Structure 1
Amino acid sequence: MKNNKLLMIMIFILIAIALVGAIVYFTVTNLNAGPEEEKEPSIDEVIEASVEIPEITTNLASGEYLKISFMVQTDDKKAKEELEKRSFQVKNIIIQELADMNAEEVQGKDGQLSLQEDLKAKVNELMQEGQIVKVYITESLLQ
């Protein structure tokens, strides 16, 4: 009887140690795994979630005029649909941003990157169904 009771206690202790060990193992492996890396979307997914802003011709603050067009990448189809509906607002934002810029501010890689980031931020303020991931300049002619 005493051996039977001792055997039951030993089995209980072994099960408890195994459970604690399993919990610690899964906790440590999940903490070390970190956040899952986001994979880059394929080009088909990018195109599927993008909206083309056709050529816009506008005056710059310095007197020159600029012909420019964009491709705007959204994060999903709902955002794309919303952006398509807001195309007139996006064009308005582009024209207003360019109206305050000089030719020197638009020229060169740094100027174009700055314009893309400014437009992304301004359009994201409008968006309710998603967000803008990236703004691409697809054509640009300064005269």
Structure 2
Amino acid sequence: MKGSLVKTMLVMLSAITVLAIAGVVLYINLSGDDKKASGKLSADELVELSVTTEEIMTNLSDEGFAKVTFRIQVDNQKAKKELETRMFQIRNSIIYQLSGTQAEDLKGPEGIDKLEQDLQKTINGFLENGKVVRVFTTEKIVQ
């Protein structure tokens, strides 16, 4: 009887140990420490995964003009390389988007946010090796 009791206690202790180890492993993997999953990159990582457009100056639909520069962040190095290769398409998309926009639409944070989101969707349509995480407006002059 004592041998049976000892075996049962060892099996129970082993099961509790295995569950505890599994719990710790799951906690570590799902706790959000993964920087890319949480979207929190260091400044160096952000630079490594983004491309800056050249200054773009174009007419707006209401006879005004805009001069803009963007920094486009992607999710991996392959996407960055592809983005650099497709920069002519990106510039074309920006000019196309702005040519249908009025100066009033670009004023204030809402206008900038809408433009950035629209460009993100458009650029994601070009990419085959990743996706655009965010478009940052780094320079904007509208007249």
Normalising by the smaller structure, the TM-score range is: 0.7 to 0.9
- Identify if the C-alpha distance between structure 1 residues 128 and 64 changes in structure 2 by more than 3 Å, giving closer, same or farther: same
Q: Is 1:16 paired with 2:33? A: no
Q: Which of 2, 10, 17 is the matching residue for 1:7?
A: 2
Q: Give identity over the alignment, percent.
A: 32
Tell me the number of residue pairs that the alignment of Structure 1 and Structure 2 aligns. Answer: 138
- TM-score normalised per structure 2: 0.84
Give 1:46-85 correspondences, 5 Å limit: 46-85=46-85
* Structure 1 residue ranges without an equivalent (≥5): 1-5
Q: Which of structures 1 and 2 has the bigger CA Rg?
A: 1
CA RMSD of aligned residues (A): 1.9
Deviation string, structure 1 residues 54-96 (Cα, Å, up to 9, x no partner): 1112121112111111111122221110100010111111111
- TM-score normalised per structure 1: 0.84
Runs of 4+ in structure 1 displaced over 6 angstroms? none
Following superposition, the deviation at residue 36 of structure 1 comes to 2.3
The aligned residue for residue 45 of structure 2 is 45
Deviation string, structure 1 residues 9-62 (Cα, Å, up to 9, x no partner): 122211211122223334555566644234321111111221111111212111
SS of the equivalent of 2:53 reads strand
User: Match of 2:135, as an amino acid?
Assistant: V
User: Match of 2:11, as an amino acid?
Assistant: A
Q: 1:32, 1:43 → 2: CA distance?
A: 27
SS of the equivalent of 2:63 reads coil
Q: Is 1:87 paired with 2:82? A: no
